[in-house]
Amino acid sequence: MEKNIMSGKLYVVPTPIGNLEDITLRALRILKEVDLIACEDTRKATILLKHYGITTPRTSYHAHNEHRKTAQLIARMKAGEQLALISDAGTPGISDPGYLLVRACIEADIPVEVLPGPTAFVPALVASGLPTHRFAFEGFLPAKKGRQKRLQELRTETRTMIFYEAPHRLLKTLEQLIEVFGADRQAAVARELTKVHEEVRRGTLLELYEYFHAQPSIRGECVLVVHGAT
């Protein structure tokens, strides 16, 4: 990759959400050629990078340091370095760090190139069997403050809704959705996407709650897809 003093640039690079084969040839090339890779978790990134023999220097960039680190990365790109931003899985900026750095690059007139690639909610939505022509991606619901208010606001949403949820909170979230949306609302839960134990469970909210309540344990990040109000 030819560079000069004015060639600083940010590449936003999606990474696999599970199966390490789900990465593009272009993404691999860029990760090898940039000067630095900003990683949400350098330990997790090492697994992927080592698998493909990528030895590019890396630095941490996550929710707890992104405000402080953004200025440092901007300075490096202004000096002519080219950086790649990756998250633990999927596309940076989608329920992962990335927005602040992209915005800062735009404000500093630093080019930003976003690669297409993996993100968990798209396969979950398509596999759910629910309407895909119009949907609302909600990401993670507020943990505590504002959670019930947001659910009440979504009660009459007519588009298919997509939520991310941690496995230990799935049952509580299904219970709250039943209370607000009704037990008969159609939905699907996708977990462990692209991995060996991938599962997509479909049914009413009550059926999903009963199914997962009977499981000895729930593992893997979950994507919850809920039919809109009719």
pTM for the full predicted model: 0.90
Kindly report the average pLDDT of the chain as a whole number. 95
pLDDT in tens, 52-99: 999 999 999 999 999 999 999 999 999 999 999 999 999 999 999 999
| Average of per-residue pLDDT across 117-125 | 96
- Tell me the CA end-to-end span of the chain in Å, nearest whole number: 53
**In the prediction, which pLDDT does 165 show?**
96
Mean pLDDT within 139-157 = 94
Burial of 77 by CB count in 10 Å (0-12 exposed, 13-18 middle, 19+ buried)?
A: buried
Based on the fold, state whether residues 28 and 106 are members of the same structural domain. Answer: yes
Please tell me the distance from the alpha carbon of residue 134 to that of residue 147, in angstroms, as a whole number.
23
Residues 139 and 101 occupy one common structural domain: no
Location of structure tokens 């009440």: 152
User: In terms of residue numbers, what domain contains 208?
Assistant: 121-226
Cα–Cα distance, 57 to 36 (Å, whole number): 5
> Tell me: the pLDDT tens digits for 192-219?
999 999 999 999 999 999 999 999 999 9
213/175 same-domain check? yes
Distance of alpha carbon 190 from alpha carbon 31, whole angstroms: 29
Helix (H) / strand (E) element for 171: namely: helix 170-181
CATH code of the domain containing 132: 3.30.950.10
Question: Does 190 lie in the same domain as 109?
Answer: no
At residue 195, the pLDDT reads 95
Domain match, 108 and 192 both: no
Q: Is residue 38 in a domain?
A: yes
Residues 107 and 125 in one domain: no
Query: Each residue of 7-40: pLDDT tens digit?
Result: 799 999 999 999 999 999 999 999 999 999 999 9
Same domain, 13 and 97: yes
210 is a domain residue: yes
What band does 41 get if pLDDT is binned at 50, 70 and 90? very high
pLDDT on residue 7: 74
Q: Are 177 and 98 members of one domain?
A: no
